Amino acid sequence: MSSTTKIATIRTYHLRDHLEEPFGFSQWYYDTRNTLWVEIVAEDGTAGWGECYGPSEVYQTAIDRFYAPRLLGQDALATDRNWQLMWRASLDFARGGVMMGAMSGMDMALWDLRGKILNQSVCEMMGGRHSDTVPCYATGMYFKEMPEDDLIRSIVDEASTYQQQGFAALKIKVGKNPNFDTQQVESLRHALPDMTMMADSNHAFDLPEAIRMGRVLEANDFRWFEEPLSPEFENQFRQLQDKLDIPIATGECEQTRFGFERLLRTGGVQIAQPDLAYCGGPSEALKIRTLASAKGINVIPHAWGTMLNLASATHFLASGYREPGRKEIDALMLEYDRTPNALRDELFDIPVVVENGVATVPTGPGLGVIVNEQKMQSFVVNQTELKV
């Protein structure tokens, strides 16, 4: 191992921004945005950046106190080896959950770092740049505290804005209550007859409710029904899919190839949605894609958070393929969260550029997005540093 590729320093940054207007979904409302960023620096000073999806304070402790001491001095280029090292260190008490989320941010930072050291972009290291652009779908239409009639009007207005911005697809929230959900879906389809639409309940329904909601979505030509059921009731997915024609998408709460193997084995999931900042990182997402491919299932990452995770998902899709594939086929779409987030939109000198509903795949080394560390500092709640 060249001494320049040894991991020399690991820093974490807990960033927070308060929202002017809270927004919600079936489970709760957000009034702040938080993220945990990881910076892994090699001995030559090259730095890679990663992001964890979930509770930032917990991630900060997990990385600073548990994983970082084990990775210092290791070969920065050995992403799989480092993943195994972290996995075996925590396997006995954490086969998943926040420890795996912490590993995900570490792994993402290591992919960014490896790309910068080797002067290759992440999609090239993932197998090749199949495409220079990735079509996006706009995620938004969250709930707000207002009378339901007003909320539906507001959601239809928001969706129309995305259409005017050039998006051909969008995803809404369902799971507020059955009357609202149905009225919302019908109003949107009436207002935007040509828009590709998906709906996400964030595991809000029991099986009979999910069947009824799925039929409403089918009648309104929705493309997929996301997280219709609790991730704990894996076998209900097959029961639901047997009743519906609309494809079922899920997986943002799932982790590792082992978790996805159990989930996909049910035969009730048509689209797998690991989050690269939670599922085990880019390394594990590639293994999940291979596993899904062997079952004829496509992987469309869940992407929430900042440009680090968005860039990771963009590279993942740009290096991907569709099962079973054919000459004339629509590309898999990148999730592009449109809810307010200064941590995503204000802290990058080079972001993932999205125009007319299409993302340009970054061409710089690693993730190809550049953090503005000066701007970042005004959002830092707490930071840590560990050196060799």
> Which residues, in sequence order, are bridge partners of residue 248?
225
Query: CB-wise, 175 or 368, nearer to Mg ion?
Result: 175
How far from each other are the two terminal CA atoms of the chain, in whole angstroms? 16
State whether the Cα torsion 155-158-164-167 is positive or negative: negative
Q: How far is the CB of 52 from Mg ion (least distance, A)?
A: 17
- Phi first, then psi: give them for residue 306, nearest 5 degrees: -110, -175
Structure tokens at 373: 């560390």
Non-local CB neighbours of 191 within 8 Å, separated by 6+ positions: 156, 159, 160
Identify the active-site residue in 14, 130, 190, 302: 302
| Beta-strand pair 7-24/380-387 | antiparallel
Tell me how far, at minimum, the Cβ of 314 lies from Mg ion, in Å: 18
What's the min distance (Å) between Cβ of 43 and Mg ion? 40
Give the residue carrying structure tokens 């001491």: 69
Report CA-CA distances (Å) from 177 to 17, 145, 173, 204, 243. Answer: 29, 14, 11, 9, 21
Q: What is the smallest separation between the CB atom of 140 and Mg ion, expressed in angstroms?
A: 12
Closest approach, Cβ 89 to Mg ion, in A, equals 30
Minimum CB distance to Mg ion smaller for 226 or for 284 = 226
Non-local (6+) Cβ contacts of 84 within 8 A are none
Taking CB atoms, the residue at the shortest distance from Mg ion is 200
Q: Give the alpha-carbon dihedral of 98, 103, 104, 106, to 10 degrees.
A: 130
Active site residue 302: yes
Q: Which of 56, 127, 184 is nearest to 321 (CA)?
A: 127
Minimum Å gap between C-beta 219 and Mg ion is 22
The pair of structure tokens assigned to 103 is: 């590993």
**Based on CB atoms, which residue is closest to Mg ion, 64 or 200?**
200
- Residue 226 or residue 337: which is nearer to Mg ion going by CB? 226
Contact present, 364 and 370 (Cβ < 8 Å): yes
- In the chain, the amino acid numbered 126 is M
Binding residues for Mg ion, per CB under 5 A? 200, 226
Those residues with Cβ within 8 angstroms of residue 31's Cβ, 6 or more apart along the chain or in another chain: 18, 19, 22
Cβ atoms of 363 and 133 closer than 8 Å: no
Shorter beta-carbon distance to Mg ion: residue 49 or 53: 53
Nearest distance in Å: CB 380, Mg ion: 28
Residues in the chain: 388
User: Which neighbouring-strand residues pair with 37?
Assistant: 13, 51
Q: Which is nearer to Mg ion, 115 or 274 (CB)?
A: 274
Nearer to Mg ion, 54 or 115 (CB): 54
Looking at the annotation, which residues are catalytic?
302
